[in-house]
Amino acid sequence: MPRISPGSAGGKNMCAFLDMIAWSEGTSRVKGSDDGYNVLVGGRLFAGYADHPREVIEVRPGLYSTAAGRYQLLARYFDYYKRELNLPDFAPISQDKIAIQQIKERNAIQAISGGHLDDAIRLCANIWASLPGAGYGQHENSIAELADAYCHAGGVSMA
């Protein structure tokens, strides 16, 4: 569950959308993790939230990544958002704020608050490799799987 407060109905959908992303990226399903917030790409855990772990990991031959955290944020993007959002660290609340900012930048907030899940996923597909249509050559989950995770997390979809 994200560390942000659900607040309004739109906020509840945002929390469910964030949970869906964590499920899709596989981080929230890593045994022993802090709901995905301390997961490196590939599934290993990191210790401490003072900074992005900045560990370069070979995902498969020739593909290297610094993705870390619940939403698998690359180190270079963390540096940008840390400055832009005046964040103190890579703690769970900071990770949530970054993910929400990325969603805002894709103009998907209204789709999420309105329960238009398909539209929100389409708008955010180029952020997360596991979303359908991302096109990064990695496993992409289906809309049906994502809708199930979203609903399971308490999101309301207007289909």
pLDDT digits (tens, 9 = 90+) for 46-78: 999 999 999 999 988 988 999 999 999 999 999
Q: Which CATH number applies to 9-152?
A: 1.10.530.10
Separation between Cα atoms, residue 99 and residue 121, nearest integer Å: 13
pTM of the model: 0.93
**Phi/psi at 76 (nearest 5 deg)?**
-65, -35
Separation between Cα atoms, residue 156 and residue 105, nearest integer Å: 22
| Encoded tokens for 134 | 């991302």
| Residue 25: active-site member | yes
Q: What is the pLDDT of residues 28-52, one digit of tens each?
A: 999 999 999 999 999 999 999 999 9
Separation between Cα atoms, residue 86 and residue 82, nearest integer Å: 5
Q: What is the pLDDT of residues 77-128, one digit of tens each?
A: 999 999 999 999 999 999 999 999 999 999 999 999 999 999 999 999 999 9
